[in-house]
């Protein structure tokens, strides 16, 4: 896992797994960066495995970001993440009614 903080922006690269055994550590790491952050970028390019806990975490992040007025982007979304989102019918293809909205600079949640 890697985290980069620049001014009011936080970029998190969770690593190869967005699965139940890893979500707590990823979540706690991101929460530690919340004070003052107005933009979160989650780089999913290195994710090799994603289960329902990973999907729940992404849904929770979307909810929290919207409530807090935080700009949330998912970038470099790896195929395993796309596949599980499609499996749960949360990608339409990643449009407004799904979990994500596709934008030029990444996937805006």
Query: How does pLDDT run across 4-60, given as a tens digit for each residue?
Result: 888 888 888 999 999 999 999 888 887 776 667 888 889 999 999 999 999 999 988
Q: What is the mean pLDDT of residues 64-71?
A: 87
Enclosing domain of residue 18: 2-108
Q: What stretches of 10-78 show up as alpha helix (H) in DSSP?
A: 20-31, 52-68
Q: How confident is the model at residue 71 (pLDDT cuts 50, 70, 90)?
A: confident
pLDDT band, very low/low/confident/very high, at 102 (cuts 50, 70, 90):
very low
Give pLDDT, residue 17. 95
Name the H helices within 32-73: 52-68
Domains in the chain, number: 1
The Cα–Cα gap between 16 and 62 comes to 21
**What is each CA distance from 9 to 5, 53, 73, in whole angstroms?**
6, 25, 11
Question: 18: which residues sit within 8 A by CB, 6+ positions away?
Answer: 26, 44, 47, 49, 50, 51, 53, 54, 57, 58, 81
The domain that contains 63 carries what CATH number?
Answer: 3.30.750.24
Residues in Cβ contact with 89 at an 8 Å cutoff, skipping those fewer than 6 apart: 98
Q: Please give the model's pTM, rounded to 2 decimal places.
A: 0.79
How much is the pLDDT for 66?
A: 86
Answer whether residue 97 shows pLDDT above 60. no
Q: How many residues does the chain have?
A: 109
Q: Is the pLDDT of residue 76 over 80?
A: yes
């Amino acid at each position: 896992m890697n985290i980069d903080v620049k001014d009011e922006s936080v970029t998190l690269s969770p690593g190869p797994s967005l699965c139940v055994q890893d979500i707590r550590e990823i979540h706690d790491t991101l929460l530690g960066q919340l004070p003052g952050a107005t933009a979160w970028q989650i780089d999913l390019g290195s994710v090799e495995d994603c289960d329902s806990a990973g999907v729940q975490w992404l849904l929770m992040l979307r909810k929290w970001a919207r409530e807090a007025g935080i700009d949330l982007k998912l970038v470099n979304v790896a195929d395993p993440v796309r596949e599980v989102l499609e499996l749960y019918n949360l990608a339409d293809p990643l449009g407004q009614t799904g979990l994500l909205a596709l934008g030029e600079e990444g996937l805006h949640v």
